[in-house]
Structure 1
């Protein structure tokens, strides 16, 4: 097997950031995606090999993965693209990583745990901002309170890429999701609110169906989990309104219009915005009588995704991993996030 990795979705916004950072760090990823015409300019500029293939063609997938050790899958929406790539990795005995934050993708990977172990393959979705920092924060807090029964996580985020925005459009009619008594439980959009201090004063946050509703349970075994994001008053009202407009927001004609509008916008944050941006996370564990809280300050989200994804790729290439379905903190520990430059953890109890 190769000592390097295949980066699928390399010509997308986040994929391109990862490809460029990989080269800066001395890695030689094979750039991959569906469209050779879009891949070739990037590959040429970076002096890298490229492979074009569709995930709909299992023969082509197997041929492309046959000589690589690790796939870093960056082509969303992952609810549509992860399954064929995971299946290809299982067939070719290739370790699978992705940058998803979609609950359904995490749960589907968890359901493949036995198959992955039989194939000697690690399935580790969520190696970016979704969900490395929050997963590590959850595991850190669990260690502080081993008998915790409730976990709440919160985050602030900056500008979105077109891919992230498209994923959100496709999920906007689905409502919210929490974990209650160990079970994933649907709730209305913007189900609960709370004021959270991420380090600069308390701000309004509301629940969203973030990936940690799935992954934090596997990492901590805490049965009750909620994830909050900072929102403006107007955004919160729009989310509440979606409870009653879900039927409309789910119509193909409405979603296609929104997606066309998204494609007319910039691919994602500019270099200057990413350099200046900061991602802040907050976490709380509690039982019937006490609680503990901590915060993280991290680089901007897409920069952070590039850094955490490559940190994990490097570990897997070095033989550091565990077969089967994994979460970042399960296989690399709660302090994994502290290996990333610019990350600061703070206890606030």
Structure 2
């Protein structure tokens, strides 16, 4: 990697701590940051890394914090609340912006700032973790296999052990419908799509979800119709099987407060043994108007372990000067084979 200082904002969270530890091991010049001086110091001091406390609600101090920074890696969720002030600071200060969101609204908000990013000479790339590097690369891969594709289906298996941050973001969608892309536009449907897909061990039930690829895969591939599914877990089945009125209630502000208090009692995230041994799978299927079909499968390390790898892989590209300006997706900027640079990944074609 070339020289350049990285600001890791949200270093006190589950994923932030993992990234900070790996950055230290790689010898990266990383400044840890977050809202609480005490909390950031507790992460930074044992690692011997510099740190500072700065709130996202203070633009002047945020601008000061970005002095001398080459790239921000923003890992403080929920990104629907935290991304905008950091993006705007990066645009003001000419700093590249990366985050690990999976929220459709955040991707689209960053895409809307494409012109501003080009004027500032910076790259805006949300979604440099499990959300959405592997699936974005697979979307472009099947598009390359079938350039005439008009529909794209993505499905994932392996995110059953969520961090608190991921869980909180997930429950925010309880009162909403399912987002899909139809005719190039993102639309919300009331029903929850269900089907069966084979991840490699026989057909399994999957549930449609509002995942970031509904936004990003279109920017990467121009495929107009996109749906995303997750392998159904008992917890997901119970949540999605709730009566609509109950989901609406839990999606309200009081309902969200109750759910998020409960989430705070969960473990911070999967333990080291799970991160070291668990695997994830991404299926991608593309079809064109003639019925031609291609299917591919990707196997990866556990999602949080993968997030550390992909986030720092892309940080390395930026530090090396490989940061196309404007709004970018991982596959659009770095190609469908980017994910194969991560140790422990394997891609297979499921049809010729």
TM-score bucket (shorter structure): over 0.9
- Residue matched to 1:4: 5
> In the aligned structure 2, how far is the partner of 1:198 from the partner of 1:298?
13
- Residue matched to 1:95: 96
- Residue matched to 1:343: 345
Q: Is the 8 A contact 2:3 2:319 kept in 1?
A: no
Q: Is the 8 A contact 2:156 2:282 kept in 1?
A: yes
Cα deviations by residue, 1:33-54 (Å, 9 ceiling, x for unpaired): 0001001121111110001100
Higher mean displacement: 7-16 or 17-26: 17-26
- Residue matched to 1:22: 23
Cα deviations by residue, 1:314-337 (Å, 9 ceiling, x for unpaired): 110110010000000011000000
Higher mean displacement: 281-290 or 226-235: 226-235
Q: CA deviation at 1:2?
A: 6.8
Say if 2:119 is the partner of 1:121: no
Structure 2 counterparts to residues 123-272 of structure 1, below 5 A: 123-156=124-157, 157-190=159-192, 192-232=193-233, 235-236=236-237, 238-272=239-273
- Residue matched to 1:69: 70
Q: Is the 8 A contact 1:175 1:243 kept in 2?
A: no
Q: Is the 8 A contact 2:309 2:342 kept in 1?
A: yes
Structure 2 counterparts to residues 298-337 of structure 1, below 5 A: 298-337=300-339
Instruction: Classify the secondary structure of the residue corresponding to 1:209.
Output: coil
Q: CA deviation at 1:28?
A: 2.4
The 1:185–1:240 alpha-carbon spacing in structure 2 relative to 1, beyond 3 Å, is farther
> In the aligned structure 2, how far is the partner of 1:165 from the partner of 1:290?
37
> In the aligned structure 1, how far is the partner of 2:241 from the partner of 2:189?
12
> In the aligned structure 1, how far is the partner of 2:258 from the partner of 2:44?
32
Structure 2 counterparts to residues 43-62 of structure 1, below 5 A: 43-62=44-63
Q: Is the 8 A contact 2:279 2:300 kept in 1?
A: yes
Q: CA deviation at 1:196?
A: 1.0
Listed as ranges, the gaps of 5+ residues in structure 2 are none
Cα deviations by residue, 1:191-240 (Å, 9 ceiling, x for unpaired): x2121111122110011000000000000000000000001366335314
> In the aligned structure 1, how far is the partner of 2:185 from the partner of 2:40?
41
Cα deviations by residue, 1:288-342 (Å, 9 ceiling, x for unpaired): 3210000000000000000000000011011001000000001100000000000
TM-score (norm 2): 0.96
> In the aligned structure 2, how far is the partner of 1:184 from the partner of 1:243?
22
> In the aligned structure 2, how far is the partner of 1:198 from the partner of 1:290?
21
Count of aligned positions: 348
Instruction: Classify the secondary structure of the residue corresponding to 1:171.
Output: coil
> In the aligned structure 2, how far is the partner of 1:15 from the partner of 1:242?
36
Q: Is the 8 A contact 2:4 2:29 kept in 1?
A: no
Instruction: Classify the secondary structure of the residue corresponding to 2:316.
Output: helix
Q: Is the 8 A contact 1:158 1:277 kept in 2?
A: no
> In the aligned structure 2, how far is the partner of 1:188 from the partner of 1:274?
35
> In the aligned structure 2, how far is the partner of 1:218 from the partner of 1:234?
32
Q: CA deviation at 1:171?
A: 1.9
RMSD after superposition: 1.3
> In the aligned structure 2, how far is the partner of 1:107 from the partner of 1:283?
22
> In the aligned structure 2, how far is the partner of 1:339 from the partner of 1:242?
44
Q: CA deviation at 1:91?
A: 0.3
